[in-house]
A and B are shown apart, each in its own frame.
Chain A
Amino acid sequence: MTRVTIIKPEKGEGTFPTPEVRQIYPTRALLWKYYLTVFFVWAAFSIGFISLWWFIQFVADEPKPTNFQNIFTIFYWGASITIIVPSVILLPLYVRRMEFIVHGNEVIVKKGLINKTVKYCPYRTVTNISTRAGPFDRLFGIGNVFIQTAGKGGATGPEEKLEGLPLYHEIRDYILRQLRIYHRSILGGEVPSHKETDLLTVQREMINELREIKRLFKQKKT
């Protein structure tokens, strides 16, 4: 294992300058996931088509029309090309044009190839954040972050979908932290610093407190 020297300030040693805007792009793994999905759609279509062919062969009365097989083959390849060719050409462009921007008070999702959509999702409307990694996502080591808003609700699906992210848990936690900071600032409460929201710091503080309690107990006993 390579030697790694970590230079990170401990609690109270330094502060992290935080960027106000963070742009996120999906990884190339998302493209491979889409390709795999297209392949499965094509495979399912082929199996269905071949099954239908066999079924027709089985039940059809003799003699069959002479060009029956040709029509069937042309239709099959036509449909296959319609599925595969646009996917191969358009999917890379679609993935390349995806962009997610996380601001101090909103999330912006830019998507689309023919219809370019820019969705603004202000934190004041966010009701729920969730992550999902399906079998294909896990295969390529990516996941999705879903943001539901008060306007749409869960019945119609999430309003915003941040796809193809390898660090989707971290991004979800980051958005949640931003949300908490935003809500506290709106409610007039104290805005938590990053150090306060750091789970490890909180855990360390808890351990220190417990140690102190233990020490006091021991002192009382003696």
Chain B
Amino acid sequence: MDKKDQILTENELAIFNLVNQQLSAQEIAEKLNKQPSYIRKTKFVIRKKIERELRKIASSLRLDLDLANIPSDTGLLIGFDWVHNTKVYLIFTVEKGIIAWWKHDCITDECRKRNQTIIDLICRERKIKLTSNEQQLPLLDQFEIVIGEIQK
């Protein structure tokens, strides 16, 4: 990804990746040779940056934000698209920037392939593991499981 497209700095990205591995501020501080207070402060900055970007994108896509369903620090925003009458998930990823995913059932293989790539990317970045049973489910259900894991 181009540097100017990046929301987070290199330092923030390193912390974000470690946060996704469910590490505490103390553990991250030990790994990166920093103070825990610095990690906590950076985590707050990361959260604010991602949230601001997600809101900006939601506004540009004319999404109705479901304020009750906004997890504060997960890099996920759930909106509603009145035009297509469906939910839209905005997910922050390091590789592809912000992913805007319209909740849908795939009919064509191309659509399935695209969705599978996105699910794999999110699982890889967020360290989410789907069981073999879950992997047999339709992509829409798999996506719902991934979203549930992010919200946890």
| Residue A3 lies at the interface, judged by CB distance under 8 Å to chain B | yes
Taking a contact as CB atoms under 8 Å apart, the answer to whether A173 and B108 are in contact is no
The count of residues in chain A whose C-beta lies closer than 8 Å to any C-beta of chain B is 29
- Decide: B82 and A7 in contact? CB cutoff 8 A: no
Q: Which of B53, B85, B87, B111 contacts A2 (CB 8 A)?
A: B53
Contact assessment for B64 and A166 in the assembled complex, using a CB-CB cutoff below 8 Å: yes
Using known A-B contacts A1-B5, A2-B57, A4-B57, determine if residue A22 contacts B104 with beta carbons closer than 8 Å.
no
Say yes or no for A170: interface residue by CB 8 A criterion.
yes
> Does any Cβ of B come within 8 Å of A19's Cβ?
yes
If A13-B108, A14-B104 touch, whether A19 touches B5 (CB-CB below 8 Å) is no
* Binary per-residue interface labels of chain A (175-202) against chain B in the complex, 1 for a CB within 8 Å, 0 otherwise: 0010000000000000000100010000
Partner of A170, one of B82, B97, B110: B82
Interface pair A12/B107, CB less than 8 Å apart: yes
CA distance A177 to B84 in the complex (A): 11
**Given A1-B5, A2-B7, A167-B64, A9 and B99 touching (CB < 8 A)?**
no
Q: A25 — which chain B residues lie within 8 A by C-beta?
A: 67
Chain A residue contacts of B110, Cβ below 8 A: 13
Per the bound structure, the CA–CA distance linking A4 and B59 in Å amounts to: 13
Residue B23 at the A interface, CB < 8 A?
A: no
> Which residues of B from 125 to 151 have beta carbons under 8 Å from A?
140
Cα distance A218–B135 in the bound complex, in angstroms: 52
A3–B67 Cα distance when bound, in Å, is 24
Cα separation A140 to B97 with both chains bound (whole Å) = 30
CB-contacts of B76-125 with A (<8 A): 80, 82-87, 96-108, 110-111, 114-115, 118
Interface residues in chain B, defined as those with a beta carbon under 8 Å from any beta carbon in chain A: 1-2, 5, 7, 53, 56-57, 62, 64, 67, 80, 82-87, 96-108, 110-111, 114-115, 118, 140
9 more A-B contacts (CB under 8 A) besides A9-B104, A17-B86, A19-B86?
A2-B97, A3-B2, A3-B96, A5-B96, A5-B99, A7-B99, A16-B105, A19-B85, A19-B87
